[in-house]
Amino acid sequence: MSKERAARAGIWSALDLALRQGVQFGVTIVLARLLAPADFGLIALLTFFTSLSITFVQGGLSLALVQRLDTSREEESAVFWVNLAASLVFATLIVLIAPAAARFYGQPTLHWLMFVAAGQVVLSALGAVHTELLTRTLQFHQIAKTGLVSSLLSAAAAVTAAAMGLGVWALAIQLLVQAGAGTAALWWVSPWRPQLRFRLSSIRHLYGFGAFISLSSVLEVLYSNGFSLVLGKLYGLADLGILNRAVAIQALPTGIISQVVSRTALPLFSARADDKPALLRGFSMTIRVSMLLSLPLITGLALLADLVVPVLYGDKWMRAVYLLRLLAFGGSLLPFHVLNLQLLLAQGESRTFFSLEIQKKVLGIICYGIGCCFGILGIAYASIVFGVLAFLVNAEPTRKSLGYGVVRQLLEIRDIVAATLFMAAGVYLLRQLLDLAPAIELAVLVGAGGLLYAGFGLALRLPSFREAWGLVTAAGGRFGRRAPAPAHPSHDLVAYQPLVDNPAVDDTPSTAPRQ
């Protein structure tokens, strides 16, 4: 695969996530003005059950289809039917525990909301294999179409329901429509169909990789979303809703970038897992490109949080301002976490991946457990501490395998840090001179920040900026042409030169973002 195709894949992936989350975020702005913080807190509780179930159902086997470049139709069909059977089991369990969950939180509505969660689990399972196969062949233009369709339909359904006064059900309907429409669209754009005849023994070799990934993902959901259960019980659904919205704003810039990196890095790194020099070059470049976009966005978000929150959500959400600033610092290293973990998976080290997850979960339980004692502010402070500790853990295998540890990774972005500090200083000084309506002032400062950042980097010809510009021009030269899907994905990917030589989503995030 050429460098241009890899860059185009990244652009399509970014476009997909930007459209999907942009629509999602836009409708959330509308819903936040129509609904109460407690409604978002109730949906955050529901997310625990859906996330845990979907992780159990899809976690390892589906991802193994991306990591293994040469699976057969029989193996892919077996994964599909196993996923579907598991989703029905977990949907049934969710329905059975619904009455107990409603009594525990004193929320009768939660009982019936759990039926929505059950439906979401089954609908998501029906499209899991299609998504992974499109990802493996880097057909992100097809994934972008399905994402846009599901986002627009679910947004329209949610806003309509909220306008009709259905309250928290508007959010529940949004999740269900998004899962159903997304899966239907995947079946429409993808020619792949499961065979009715299959052998479970055909996917036995996938369990070695997939089992540890599933366990790692389950641990992640239990500890991160599990804190929603604790906070909802200890401090009430309103506080949980405030924290949930602060996390959602913080996750918008870093989340899109990190998901783009996560989607493209695994198939691309996997194709050069045995070529360590090429792998190192691709890894270091991807760090620079991802942080080039992520760091200024997250810094600007922290700097302008007191404008962002009221402009987007209204004054009733002002308690989220300080939380947002703290969470921004806590999430600033997220691209490092994602890339180190994807590099590990690309080398087939799922056992090591699971070991790292155990270590981080112990650290996370300690950090967030202490933070819980101090309410939602404590959780935000804990995210900063845990972000640093998780980076140290995630980077250690990379240091051992490629000689590229924490210090070398941080040194890669020193020019980006300099440009970000220049931008932040300029925005801060400009803000002292402005006295405009909040929405106008926010728009002016965001535009000025972007110009200061890009101008500083390009004027001084900083390496990361020149490198990124080269990638954009390389991808843009052939972006208008659609590259056909390879007849045999593994053959095409083996020829790939990996980002070297100069390379259904819901809006109810957990209280402890993945690191």
Each residue's pLDDT tens digit, 332-350: 888 898 889 888 888 777 7
Range picked from 14-23, 260-269, 417-426 for highest mean pLDDT? 417-426
**Judgement on whether residues 216 and 243 belong to the same structural domain of the protein:** no
* The pLDDT value given to residue 418: 94
**Judgement on whether residues 144 and 275 belong to the same structural domain of the protein:** no
**Judgement on whether residues 276 and 397 belong to the same structural domain of the protein:** yes
Each residue's pLDDT tens digit, 31-54: 888 888 888 888 888 888 888 788
8 A C-beta contact, residue 197 and residue 75:
no
The least confident of 70-74, 177-181, 398-402 is 70-74
Confidence of residue 474 (pLDDT cuts 50, 70, 90): low
- Which of 179, 195, 224 is the last residue in one of the domains? 224
477 pLDDT higher than 70? no
514 pLDDT higher than 50? no
Confidence of residue 66 (pLDDT cuts 50, 70, 90): low
When divided into structural domains, the chain yields a total of 2
8 A C-beta contact, residue 83 and residue 140:
no
87 pLDDT higher than 80? yes
420 pLDDT higher than 90? yes
* The pLDDT value given to residue 200: 65
Report the C-alpha gap between 265 and 499 in whole angstroms.
Answer: 9
The least confident of 119-133, 223-237, 427-441 is 223-237
8 A C-beta contact, residue 300 and residue 449:
yes
Burial of 30 (0-12, 13-18, 19+ CB in 10 A): middle
* The pLDDT value given to residue 4: 60
Could you tell me if residue 24 is inside a domain?
no
Burial of 88 (0-12, 13-18, 19+ CB in 10 A): middle
498 pLDDT higher than 50? no
Residue among 283, 288, 340, 281 nearest 500 (CA)? 281
* The pLDDT value given to residue 499: 28
Report the C-alpha gap between 65 and 289 in whole angstroms.
Answer: 27
Can you say whether the dihedral through the CA atoms of 403, 404, 406, 412 is positive or negative?
A: positive
Could you tell me if residue 295 is inside a domain?
yes
**Judgement on whether residues 448 and 492 belong to the same structural domain of the protein:** yes
**Judgement on whether residues 442 and 491 belong to the same structural domain of the protein:** yes
205 pLDDT higher than 80? no
Q: What percent of the chain has pLDDT over 90?
A: 23
Range picked from 345-354, 368-377, 491-500 for highest mean pLDDT? 368-377
Residue among 254, 257, 253, 255 nearest 265 (CA)? 257
Could you tell me if residue 230 is inside a domain?
no
Pairwise pLDDT comparison (43 vs 22), residue with the higher score = 43
* The pLDDT value given to residue 212: 62
Packing angle of the helix pair 438-459, 305-313 (nearest 10 deg): 130
The least confident of 176-190, 218-232, 485-499 is 485-499
Could you tell me if residue 486 is inside a domain?
yes
Q: Which residues touch 349 (CB under 8 Å, ≥6 apart)?
A: 397
Report the C-alpha gap between 501 and 515 in whole angstroms.
Answer: 28
Could you tell me if residue 27 is inside a domain?
no
Domain range for 251 is 235-500
**Judgement on whether residues 448 and 471 belong to the same structural domain of the protein:** yes
Residues in the chain: 515
**Judgement on whether residues 73 and 165 belong to the same structural domain of the protein:** yes
Residue with the two structure tokens 């999430």: 331
- Which of 201, 224, 247 is the last residue in one of the domains? 224
Confidence of residue 88 (pLDDT cuts 50, 70, 90): very high
Packing angle of the helix pair 320-330, 276-303 (nearest 10 deg): 160
Could you tell me if residue 53 is inside a domain?
yes
Largest CA-CA distance found in the chain, in angstroms, rounded: 70
505 pLDDT higher than 60? no
**Judgement on whether residues 141 and 254 belong to the same structural domain of the protein:** no
Each residue's pLDDT tens digit, 156-187: 999 999 888 888 899 899 989 989 998 999 89
| Distance from the Cα of residue 12 to its chain's centroid | 16
Residue among 312, 294, 288 nearest 14 (CA)? 294
**Judgement on whether residues 335 and 473 belong to the same structural domain of the protein:** yes
Pairwise pLDDT comparison (476 vs 390), residue with the higher score = 390
* The pLDDT value given to residue 483: 43
Report the C-alpha gap between 182 and 82 in whole angstroms.
Answer: 20
63 three-class SS: helix
- Which of 157, 189, 224 is the last residue in one of the domains? 224
10 three-class SS: helix
204 pLDDT higher than 70? no
* The pLDDT value given to residue 306: 93
| Residue 361 structure tokens | 């979960």
**Judgement on whether residues 332 and 432 belong to the same structural domain of the protein:** yes
Q: What is the mean pLDDT of the chain?
A: 80
Average pLDDT value for residue range 303-321: 90
Give the angle subtended at the CA of 48 by the CAs of 46 and 50, to the nearest 5°.
75
Could you tell me if residue 195 is inside a domain?
yes
Pairwise pLDDT comparison (38 vs 225), residue with the higher score = 38
* DSSP secondary structure letters along 414-464: HHHHHHHHHHHHHHHHHHHH----HHHHHHHHHHHHHHHHHHHHHHTT-HH
* DSSP secondary structure letters along 370-390: HHHTTHHHHHHHHHHHHHHHH
Residue among 351, 35, 264 nearest 162 (CA)? 35
Average pLDDT value for residue range 304-311: 92
**Judgement on whether residues 212 and 275 belong to the same structural domain of the protein:** no
* The pLDDT value given to residue 346: 80
**Judgement on whether residues 405 and 263 belong to the same structural domain of the protein:** yes
